[in-house]
Amino acid sequence: MNKKIGQALVVGGGISGIRAALDLAEFGYGVTLIDRAPHLGGVLTQLDHQFPTNHCGMCKMLPLVDRDKAAQFCLRKGLFHDNITLRLSTEVMAVDGEPGRFDVTLRQAVNPVDPDRCTGCGECAEVCPVEVPDAFNAGLGLRKAIYLPTPHTIPNRYQVDAAACTRCGACVDACPTQAISLNDKARKDFHILVVDDELIVRDSLKEWIEIEGGFSVTMADSGEAALEALKTRQVDLMLTDIKMPGMDGVTLLQKAGELFPDLTVVMMTAYATVETAVEAMKIGALDYLIKPFDPDALIPKIVGIYDAVKTPDEPPLKVGSIVLSSGSAFYDPSEGKDTLGYGQLPDVVTQLEFERLLSGTGPTGGHLVRPSDGRPVGRIAWLQCVGSRDLQTDADFCSNICCMISLKQSMLARDKARQAGMDLDTHIFYMDMRTFGKSFQRYRDQAEESGVNLTRARIHSVVPDLTQGDLQLRYADMSGRAEECHADMVVLAAGQRPPLGTAAMAELMGIGLNPWGFPETEPFSLVHTDRKGIVAAGAFTGLKDISASVTQASAAALNASRTIHEGGGSLKLESGSAHEYEDLSRQLPRILVVICTCGERLKPVADPRLLTRHLKQDPAVDQVLFLDRTCTAEGWASLVDMVRNINPNRLLIGACQPYAYARKLKALGADTGLNPRLMDVVDILSSIQGREGEPEAFQAAMIAELRMAVARLRHADTSAVPGVPVTQSALVVGGGIAGMSTALAIADHGFPVDQVEQSEHMGGNLLWIKNTLGGHETAGLLSDIRSRVEKHPHIRAHTGARVLCSFGQAGHFLTSLGTGEETVENIEHGVAILATGGREAVPDGYHYGENDRILTHRELSEKLDAGDIRPETLNTVVMIQCAGTREEPRNYCSKVCCGAALKHALALTDIHPDLQVYVFYRDMMSYGFTESYFTEARRRRVRFIPYTKDRKPEVLLEGGAVRIRAHEPLLGRDIEMGADLVVLAAGVVPNLSADLAQSFGATLDGDGFFQAAESKWRPVDALKEGVFGCGLAHSPGNIPESIASAEAAAQRALRILCHALLPSGKLTADVRHSLCALCERCIEVCPYEARSLDPEEERIMVNPVMCQGCGACAAVCPNDASYLEGYAARQMLEMIDAAMGC
Amino acid sequence: MSQAQSKTIQATGTTSSDLAEVRDMVAACIQCGTCTGSCPNAFAMDLTPRHMWRMVLMDQIDEVFQSRTFMLCSACYTCTLRCPRGLPLTEALSLLKQRASRDDLPCYRQSTRFYRRFIDSVRRHGRVQETTFIALYFMDMTPKHPLLPLKYTPLGLRLMRRGKLSFPNPFARAGGQSLESIFNKVAALEEAV
């Protein structure tokens, strides 16, 4: 077992939290991953499908190298990694210390259900009388007060909703394993003193607290009486009014505090004296309650205080660094001035609610019906920018992903309708369709081709049409005509909001917030907060799609790791000696079969004697034992005893939910010395439900299942797959900001880096980009990073050099560099990172190159910086966006051009406020918080004129003068103007040649950018392990985005570099060379490029680290020479026999 | 509209400075069209609200003063409430109305004189006195629109039948000094602006 030296805390277990935790864990650190929700996965637990594949794919985040450290199964079901401690329903209470040495106090909410006893049978929920809106289904549908947080977590344990529970105790009696304890006595022993001069307040509080809370209450009518009461009896909590005749509440607080320093006091106050209450908190009050009390809010608050007082403080957790990934919340349209019917009309739903309606685990079982009356839906309208880009809701920002979500939902809904044989009308009303991410534009095109209507219009309100029984929307079309449309359902794209408690968390952590309440990061970083050692990831800094979240999470992990490293946490993994197990391969198999009886459930469907007889027919089966509830702590303890006493050399457990046993089997192995690879768990119980009536068929299926597992175990092979030695150094191709960032990130962790830059200077595009849209100068960033790279003892820079060729695989590459004509240098390295950058495209059309008044944004930028263009001498400047992009052949958004146009428009009008600036655009991509610059440009009367692909503005040359003729769709007229400058947004093209990518085994996407292994879940990895891409070579992006992808690539590379010998997975393919005919079909078919032909040995080689055990090679091999460990032919045939009942 | 569509605007970038205020009020417009969608009177307008604001921003102010759009605003404030930019649209419209009234632009006289006579009547009588108010209004309008009274006749008759018209002494003054001073104060304030 590796001893983990560094420790990190990840706050928030959504997708970015999981990514950051896995990255840090794979690097060898110990990670505590917490979430305040009782489940893992954040908002993604509620979303089944993601664009652009319209599928899930979360499992693609699982470790690929050293992958047996984690359980390899669906991440929605749970996350298991040897180095990750998962704590749910947990929050951070305090953070002390300094970067590298933080002391963090955590508090876990008390769940009355004991997870070691709960089997998830659900009998408690059946009897629970309380129903509340189901949060998992975004409030659609109801659930009980005792509930499963998600339907799919494994093991799935019930949870009590403390705010809803009435403590009736029905569940306690119903639970067959006595797992629930409401602890009535402990509450009765908790004494609360209520001090108020008004009898009615005292009385009603006493009643509420005693009946609904189950606590003991005494009352006092004045401060003096309260002090007397305190002296006569033990009081745990005092609730005191502030304004009372005689001694007031604050004086009482002071006096009581002197006498009983440990007493917890909560102030009660009318709204008018809230300030006094806040003052009281400064002198020792814990909290305050505002009158009049809402009993629904009061009891949970008192229960919270009770839990806090009664739960002993945990010893502080020592961590080197903290990653904040608490996700994002959504705007509630019912709170706005313009509710669009949300909250009143049941057929108006938010995007999240619609996701639940699409889901098979949703309130309608995935049937697309109207929430109001259950009738099938024929027309759906999506309304964009609800609570985004709306100054009336204090949202001068774009929420980044709603456009893509609406496109996705419209396509999913159409698919669903088509499958049901129905016609569905889908209509998206948008302001700008923001498809700025990699491949997003093509996704939009795909949606439009599939029949989704897109209309550029904003809907002002949704009204019910009583005659037709549907919803009516009115909008203005482009010409200004008012149009009407009807829909059965309206989906609101509710914008991002900071999650609840962000302000408090920011104060606790000592980090700053931006004007909209999201964590502020440093100007050139997406992850650095203003407290060193605390980094932010994912949607916590503003909603983002999965690939951006995952990239940012890896970058956050990298920077967290940097802090831990700087703080003294050693990077060396302590001896890689995994637990050594006895080699049992020569022994005859003696299989112990343990079958879980699951309470009384197995009895009616299976006869233990018959089962035993059948299984024992196989001589490999030594004993068959029955055990009640293997999943509980007690059940497991007796299983451990059985293994100890019987000492079998193989173990088969017949139970349910095999996933849940991953961690337990490892522990059992360490405990008993039996190799976990000789253990297996099969699911025989989960199919009982509903089959109680047919015991014979059920029993036969169960026997077949168990015998298959016996056959598999009998042939289980424990021989170790050799690891791969790693050359612990990296090659970075490219010396721009991305290349330098990634090189520094790796070198800072103590690994040598060779950095290749083909020009004579490092710096890339930063050599000409002098400032950013945010008004930050890049000179400091460039000189700082350049000098760090130059001085770094671990970085060897090769400027003026090119990669000639490279071959090799994860762990060892050999690359030849050419410097000048003849010099060739060979470099050995373990990983390669392609950061070759990108450049501004050369515009085609618009008379570019024919007149020096027509130029690109880069040229404008350079001329402004050089003083060649003086804004005060200009009258009219015209900018044309998407000059050559977002249509074939370059059908992608370059992401940075709209920002550049805004930057230049603002810079020009800064100097010359009366300058006429016209911007012709298709969709302004001022995503995220850059929307505020768009607003500012509008305020300055920069004129933005939309155009379409088939009606572009024309540039006319008249002698030396330049004129623009274009259509103004809002006025419905043609307009014409003279222009002193025409600035073309030509977009970004990558500097990544196919040859270069090919030599490392990477591939390019259709637009020439680095092809990611998976655009969402593995955004910076190439499909071939050990090769990574970042910066502009990967996808267009601004400086912070490029740095984030660079740091993410570094983090992914470090997972490999940190091993001297990279452990292989259990399930890997190999070749019987004597049978191999070298037909090379297996090489072609391997999706991970794990196979290669060794020309000298004339053998097919398999890199066991890159091999993911998919078995494609074994299937394609005509000679049976390729095979997959653990799936030997004999084993498989015996399993098939067992399954067939032979 | 067809005539307007064929016309090519020469974007010149000049706007009479007294309308700069209106222009600045709507500068941050993103042309989303929510104002048009929400306007209950849009059906009667020759230029719908977004179209008109676009003209303002494109310095086509002269044409704005040929349309009846802003005069048709009934100040319901729906567009102001719904505008995602929070622009003071209703206020901007009333500035346009004021300009039309102050300059006594001929094409809006039917409306501006109506307002003016209405206020005159209130000033004189302390409330609107329908008969005198309409008589004064007709006096203003008949030189150019001799048939206007006929247009109003059916409405007048209907109102009379319902007893909605009063016939008090047209020369009686009410309100006295206090009302007068309110009017004077408003006039002084407007002067100051």
- pLDDT number for residue A531: 93
Under an 8 A CB cutoff, do A460 and B30 touch? no
Q: 3-class SS at A144?
A: strand
- pLDDT number for residue B39: 93
Q: Is B11 on the interface with A (CB under 8 A)?
A: yes
Q: 3-class SS at A899?
A: helix
Establish whether this prediction's ipTM goes over 0.90.
no
Better pLDDT: A780 or B105:
A780
Q: Place B14 in a pLDDT band, splitting at 50, 70 and 90.
A: very low
From chain A, the residues in CB contact with B13 under 8 A are: 875-876, 916
Is A615 within 8 Å of A713 (Cβ atoms)?
Answer: no
Q: Place B5 in a pLDDT band, splitting at 50, 70 and 90.
A: very low
CA distance A944 to A917: 8
CA distance A349 to A333: 10
Q: How many CB atoms lie within 10 A of CB A128?
A: 23
Is A759 within 8 Å of A799 (Cβ atoms)?
Answer: yes
Over residues A622-654, the pLDDT tens digits come to 999 999 888 888 899 999 999 999 999 999 999
Of A208, A301, A291, which Cα lies nearest the Cα of A249? A291
Chains A, B: CB contacts within 8 A come to 122
Q: Is the pLDDT of residue B150 over 90?
A: no
Identity of the residue numbered A896: V
Q: How many CB atoms lie within 10 A of CB A275?
A: 9
From chain A, the residues in CB contact with B32 under 8 A are: 431, 457-458
Residue of A399, A906, A941 for testing the chain B interface, max B β-carbons within 10 Å: A941
Q: Is the pLDDT of residue A406 over 90?
A: yes
Of A431, A427, A432, A434, which Cα lies nearest the Cα of A473? A427
Q: How many CB atoms lie within 10 A of CB A788?
A: 15
Of A221, A220, A194, A226, which Cα lies nearest the Cα of A298? A194
How far CA A1136 is from CA of A630, A659, A677, A708, A711, in Å, comes to 28, 23, 21, 7, 9
Give A104-139 as a DSSP string: EEEEEPP-SB-TTT-----HHHHH---EEE-TTTTT
The backbone torsions φ and ψ at residue A874, rounded to the nearest 5 degrees and listed phi first, read -100, 150
Give A692-707 as a DSSP string: TT-HHHHHHHHHHHHH
Q: Which two tokens stand for residue A889?
A: 């052949």
Q: Which two tokens stand for residue A530?
A: 């203003």
Give A437-486 as a DSSP string: STTHHHHHHHHHHTT-EEEE-----EEEETTTTEEEEEEE-TTS-EEEEE
Q: Is A394 on the interface with B (CB under 8 A)?
A: no
Q: Residues of A numbered 450-469 whose beta carbons fall under 8 angstroms of chain B's beta carbons: which are they?
A: 457-461
How far apart are the CA of A392 and the nearest CA of chain B, in angstroms? 5
- pLDDT number for residue B18: 59
A1021: DSSP letter? B
How far apart are the CA of A433 and the nearest CA of chain B, in angstroms? 13
Give A286-315 as a DSSP string: -EEEESSP-HHHHHHHHHHHHHHHHSPPPP
Q: Place A878 in a pLDDT band, splitting at 50, 70 and 90.
A: very high
Q: Based on the number of CB atoms within 10 Å of its own CB, is A346 exposed (0-12), middle (13-18) or buried (19 or more)?
A: middle
CA distance A536 to A532: 11
Identity of the residue numbered A705: E
CA distance A1134 to A80: 31
**Per-residue three-class SS string for chain B:** CHHHHHCEEECCCCCCHHHHHHHHHCCCCCCCCHHHHHCCCHHHCCCCHHHHHHHHHCCCHHHHCCCCCHHHCCCCCHHHHHCCCCCCHHHHHHHHHHHHHHCCCHHHHHHHHHHHHHHHHHHHHCCCCHHHHHHHHHHHHCCCCCCHHHHHHHHHHHHHHCCCCCCCCCCCCCCHHHHHHHHHHHHHHHHHC
Q: How many CB atoms lie within 10 A of CB B17?
A: 8
Q: Is B61 on the interface with A (CB under 8 A)?
A: no
Q: How many CB atoms lie within 10 A of CB B156?
A: 15
pTM equals 0.90
Over residues A422-446, the pLDDT tens digits come to 999 999 999 999 999 989 999 999 9
Under an 8 A CB cutoff, do B84 and A389 touch? yes
Beta bridge partners of A826: A816
Residue matched to tokens 């890896």: A554
Q: What proportion of chain A, given as a percentage, has pLDDT over 70?
A: 98
- pLDDT number for residue A694: 79
A160: DSSP letter? E
Identity of the residue numbered A1040: P
- pLDDT number for residue B12: 44
Q: Please name the residues in contact with A990: beta carbons below 8 A apart, sequence gap of 6 or more.
A: A836, A837, A838, A1004, A1007, A1008, A1009, A1010, A1032, A1033
Residue matched to tokens 């004697």: A609
Q: Place B172 in a pLDDT band, splitting at 50, 70 and 90.
A: low
How far apart are the CA of B69 and the nearest CA of chain A, in angstroms? 12
Structural Rg of chain B based on CA atoms: 20
| C-alpha of A1113 from chain center | 33
**Per-residue three-class SS string for A545-596:** CHHHHHHHHHHHHHHHHHHHHHCCCCCCCCCCCCCCCCCCCCCCCCEEEEEE
Q: What distance, in Å, lies between the first and last C-alpha atoms of chain A?
A: 42
Q: Please name the residues in contact with A993: beta carbons below 8 A apart, sequence gap of 6 or more.
A: none
How far CA A570 is from CA of A6, A7, A1054, A1076, B155, in Å, comes to 7, 11, 14, 45, 93
Is B44 within 8 Å of B72 (Cβ atoms)?
Answer: yes
CA distance A890 to B49: 37
Better pLDDT: B152 or A1002:
A1002
Under an 8 A CB cutoff, do A977 and B28 touch? no
Q: 3-class SS at A903?
A: helix
- pLDDT number for residue B193: 64
Of B37, B55, B86, the CB nearest to A474: B37
- pLDDT number for residue A454: 96
How far apart are the CA of B19 and the nearest CA of chain A, in angstroms? 14
Least confident of A703-707, A976-980, A1010-1014, B102-106: B102-106
Given its phi and psi angles, is residue A1010 left (phi above 0), alpha (psi -120 to 50 degrees) or beta? beta
Of B9, B33, B86, the CB nearest to A392: B86
- pLDDT number for residue B170: 66
Rounded average pLDDT over A372-401? 94
Q: Is A937 on the interface with B (CB under 8 A)?
A: no
Is A964 within 8 Å of A984 (Cβ atoms)?
Answer: no
Least confident of A679-688, A769-778, B6-15, B128-137: B6-15
- pLDDT number for residue A513: 95
Q: Place B107 in a pLDDT band, splitting at 50, 70 and 90.
A: confident
Q: Place B17 in a pLDDT band, splitting at 50, 70 and 90.
A: low
Give A767-834 as a DSSP string: GT--B-TTS-BSHHHHHHHHHHHHH-TTEEEEETEEEEEEEEETTEEEEEEEETTTEEEEEEESEEEE
* Chain A residue whose CA is closest to B41: A482
A197: DSSP letter? S
Q: What is the dihedral of CA A289, A294, A297, A303, to 10 degrees?
A: 70
A348: DSSP letter? E
How far CA A33 is from CA of A13, A149, B138, in Å, comes to 6, 18, 81
How far apart are the CA of A574 and the nearest CA of chain B, in angstroms? 59
A1010: DSSP letter? B
Q: Is the pLDDT of residue A572 over 50?
A: no
How far apart are the CA of A1092 and the nearest CA of chain B, in angstroms? 57
Q: Place A584 in a pLDDT band, splitting at 50, 70 and 90.
A: confident
Rounded average pLDDT over A159-163? 88
CA distance A510 to A508: 6
Q: Beta strands of A656-713 (E only): which ranges?
A: 679-683
Q: Based on the number of CB atoms within 10 Å of its own CB, is A1127 exposed (0-12), middle (13-18) or buried (19 or more)?
A: middle
Under an 8 A CB cutoff, do B84 and A337 touch? no
Over residues A786-839, the pLDDT tens digits come to 999 999 999 999 999 999 999 888 899 999 999 766 778 999 999 999 999 999
- pLDDT number for residue A571: 46
CA distance A880 to A917: 11
From chain A, the residues in CB contact with B72 under 8 A are: none
Is A71 within 8 Å of A83 (Cβ atoms)?
Answer: no
Over residues B28-83, the pLDDT tens digits come to 999 999 999 999 999 999 999 999 999 999 888 888 998 999 999 999 999 999 99
Q: Is B47 on the interface with A (CB under 8 A)?
A: yes
pLDDT, chain A, mean:
91
